[in-house]
Chains A and B, each alone.
Chain A
């Protein structure tokens, strides 16, 4: 009898031990699952993955029969189901979850996990459930989501959740809130990086970022174009290797590293593939929050485009005007606009009969010398050389850059042209040629200026009545004469002496035009 009783006690003890062992294993599983969950959710950067993992793992450790995650819609403020577990999505698709009422209102007030009671007015029928455990997802102290688990399973059917389950889900939801915050931060970082990338790729300055170890961390499209290297080759590589053939760039980097001050070089020669290009380059030290040197940013501005503009424009205007135009883009008006201009025409008197006695080579040589001395004068007084037609020069003042002295400058040009012509004539007389004789006409008025022509050829010029009258004045001018219109006479300085001459009849004008002639 005693033996039987002892055997039963041992069996009971064995059962108790097995039960304890099972309970311990379950606790161990809970801990392991929470650890797994922490590791998993902190490595996720997608909210949908995050919530699905949270839901399945928390359902698994708490033994809930199903679950749901609601997330606040940032636009409507309504909470939408973003993850469901063991629930038919179609059943809850049309359900509105509002923070202003029901269980979400309570959750917003409590901001911690709780078991939903009858007072919470929860729609159990919707989820075909009897028991509900809910926990918040918090971001910046606000309720942004809810993890909801339904019906705790046991071998004998579903039961209500227990205090231990509340603790477990709360631990999960705290981890979830942190992970949510990380995902949001990552999203905002990606957005700001994207914005930076867009800005960097659209600017015309080449930008290169070098870290503390001298490795290139960032390079934008323009810098890639300028140094003629592949992005893959540059990123992560040491700047000294990348600029191996640009020793002067390495010198700049070293200077900034040593002195930790910005260095700027104007018209710097940069090796771009096989060519050398002219750039403006600046190397600036970068400091972190604690003002500790953390790298260098190089900014490169390609001057070759600017130089191209300069050399193109230099043919038409003085260097002075080109520089002014490049300094201030607003002042440059190349579209079709009407403005007040002064126009000067000059041509050679008797050029046709003179040219008949010369060989074509002689004509070209003489004309080139003549125009060179005349154009030097034009540029000296900031005129814009519009065109040379045969032996005629057409010069503009007031476009593309306006100045108060435009008309006076036209007069100064005309006077100086005669002085230069004298010197030019002295030279050619010595060579046995006949002296050149010129006449000049100047008019002032409104004209339309801009790039005129076709895709094949586009020229900056002016059109209008003012131009026509300027040309007529020039053709009326006798050798040595400067003829100006009333509009010019009205604005020029009194120091330039002009006398009125008989009005002239010009084509297209019903009345004769008043004309003034310069008194040499």
Chain B
């Protein structure tokens, strides 16, 4: 586990990645590493819990877009939960929300993705 990844767990076939702190280059790369590792093991559905990440920058967002592109290639799904208002707004502007759903809680995210 790194400073930027608080927890990774699997529930009903959904990989839940909980991030922490500034979602920038470093956090984005850490999520990418977890994603690559889990995809190799056959996982296709990911839920990113950003409860403890209240600030994102465009580099962090562009890494998330990379992940979404890769998921589309393997027919996987990605969703987000517990987004701060400003983070959700950034995701809207950067177009992420066109490809991913946002859920109010981890449980509802897992239910929809599984």
Q: List residues of chain A with CB under 8 Å of any chain B CB.
A: 21-22, 25-26, 28-29, 32-33, 36, 56-57, 59-66, 85-86, 153-155, 157-158
Contacts and interface: CB of A to CB of B under 8 A. Distances in A.
A289 B26 CA distance: 57
A352 to B, nearest CB: 99
A86 B21 contact: yes
Contact of B22 (A61, A62, A85, A157): A85
Contacts of B63: 155
A29 B90 contact: yes
Contact of B54 (A25, A56, A153): A56
Interface residues of B, number: 19
B89 interface: yes
A28 B58 CA distance: 12
A contact face: mostly helix, strand, loop, or mixed = helix
B21 A28 contact: no
A296 to B, nearest CB: 46
Contacts of A33: 90
Contact of A32 (B21, B93, B95): B93
A250 B89 CA distance: 56
B24 A25 contact: no
B84 to A, nearest CB: 10
Interface in B50-98: 54-59, 62-63, 86, 89-90, 93-95
B25 interface: yes
Contacts of A21: 95
B25 A26 contact: no
A155 B25 contact: yes
Contacts of A28: 93
A56 B24 CA distance: 12
Instruction: For the complex of A and B, list the 5 residue pairs with the smallest distance between their C-beta atoms, beginning with the closest.
Output: A153-B25, A56-B55, A153-B59, A63-B57, A29-B93
Interface of B: 21-22, 24-26, 54-59, 62-63, 86, 89-90, 93-95
A26 B24 contact: no
Nearest to B90: A29
B55 A25 contact: no
28 contacts: A21-B95, A22-B62, A25-B93, A25-B95, A29-B58, A29-B90, A29-B94, A32-B89, A32-B93, A33-B90, A36-B89, A56-B54, A59-B55, A59-B57, A62-B57, A63-B24, A63-B57, A63-B58, A64-B57, A65-B25, A65-B26, A85-B55, A86-B21, A153-B24, A153-B57, A155-B59, A155-B62, A155-B63
Contacts of B90: 29, 33, 60
Contacts of A62: 57
B104 to A, nearest CB: 22
B24 to A, nearest CB: 6
A154 B58 CA distance: 9
Given A25-B93, A25-B94, A65-B24, 17 more contacts: A21-B95, A22-B62, A32-B93, A36-B86, A57-B55, A60-B55, A60-B86, A61-B57, A64-B57, A65-B26, A85-B22, A85-B55, A86-B22, A153-B25, A153-B57, A154-B25, A155-B25
A503 B94 CA distance: 118
A63 B94 contact: no
A62 B56 CA distance: 11
Contacts of A157: 25
A90 to B, nearest CB: 15
Contacts of B56: 60
Contacts of B62: 22, 155
Contacts of A56: 54-55
Contacts of A66: 22
A62 B59 CA distance: 10
